[in-house]
């Protein structure tokens, strides 16, 4: 069962709660990392970090997990969530873009604006958490290069020689 870690700030509280309810009703294992009640003075970074860490921890343990953040300012949330080593956060404008973000960069955290229409937001979430990553040498190599820079501060190209079966072992 796919796990979805959800958190919101004041600007996305209502929409985030509704999306979490819809995800639960659709059969996803939803974990709430946001405030229990609306707090107009809360700050987004802690929610982004919590969700990013939860997703990375689960994925490292072999759990099929994703994050969904609903914030007053989605772009700021993308920046904050991407500070977590292993988190690949994106914001998308359509279900097609959400699927593309999964396929191309194996994105694992979706960040939405709190003012989004519920139906549009839900379609983005559903597309994001069900779309696969492209299982190609090229995509795997590119993601490994990003991870290499994230961890070592350089891209030396050590991932260039990967064979298709190595990519499948690494990303499945």
Lowest mean pLDDT among 27-31, 45-49, 149-153: 149-153
Q: What does the pLDDT read at residue 128?
A: 98
pLDDT tens-place string over residues 92-114 = 999 999 999 999 999 999 999 99
At residue 126, the pLDDT reads 98
For the chain, domains (ranges, CATH) are 3-130 (3.40.1400.10), 137-170 (no CATH)
- What pLDDT score was predicted for residue 45? 97
Given this model, what pLDDT does residue 162 score? 54
As a whole number of angstroms, the distance between CA 25 and CA 91 comes to 24
Q: Range with the lowest mean pLDDT among 45-49, 51-55, 93-97, 150-154?
A: 150-154
Query: Helix 13-25 vs helix 118-130: angle between axes, to the nearest 10 degrees?
Result: 50
Assign 3-class secondary structure to 82-132: CCCCCCCEECCCCHHHHHHHHHHHCCCEEEEECCCCHHHHHHHHHHHHHCC
Place of tokens 């490292």: 60
With beta carbons less than 8 A apart as the criterion, state whether 47 and 149 touch.
no
Lowest mean pLDDT across 53-62, 99-108, 135-144, 157-166: 157-166
pLDDT digits (tens, 9 = 90+) for 147-170: 888 887 888 865 555 555 655 555
Q: pTM here?
A: 0.87
pLDDT bin (cut points 50, 70, 90) of residue 136 is confident
């Amino acid at each position: 069962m796919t796990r979805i870690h959800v958190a919101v700030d004041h600007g996305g509280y209502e929409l985030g709660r509704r999306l979490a309810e819809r995800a639960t009703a659709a059969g996803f294992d939803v974990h709430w990392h946001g405030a229990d009640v609306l707090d107009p003075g809360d700050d987004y970074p802690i929610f982004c970090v919590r969700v990013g860490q939860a997703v990375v921890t689960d994925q490292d343990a072999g759990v099929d997990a994703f994050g969904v953040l609903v914030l007053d300012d989605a772009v700021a949330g993308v920046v904050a969530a991407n500070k977590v080593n292993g988190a690949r956060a994106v914001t998308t404008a359509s279900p097609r873009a959400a699927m593309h973000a999964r396929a191309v960069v194996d994105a694992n955290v979706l960040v939405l604006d709190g003012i989004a229409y519920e139906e549009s937001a839900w379609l983005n979430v559903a597309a994001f958490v069900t779309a696969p990553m492209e299982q190609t040498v090229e995509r795997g190599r590119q993601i490994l290069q990003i991870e290499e820079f994230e961890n070592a501060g350089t891209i030396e190209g050590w991932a260039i020689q990967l064979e298709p079966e190595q990519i499948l072992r690494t990303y499945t």
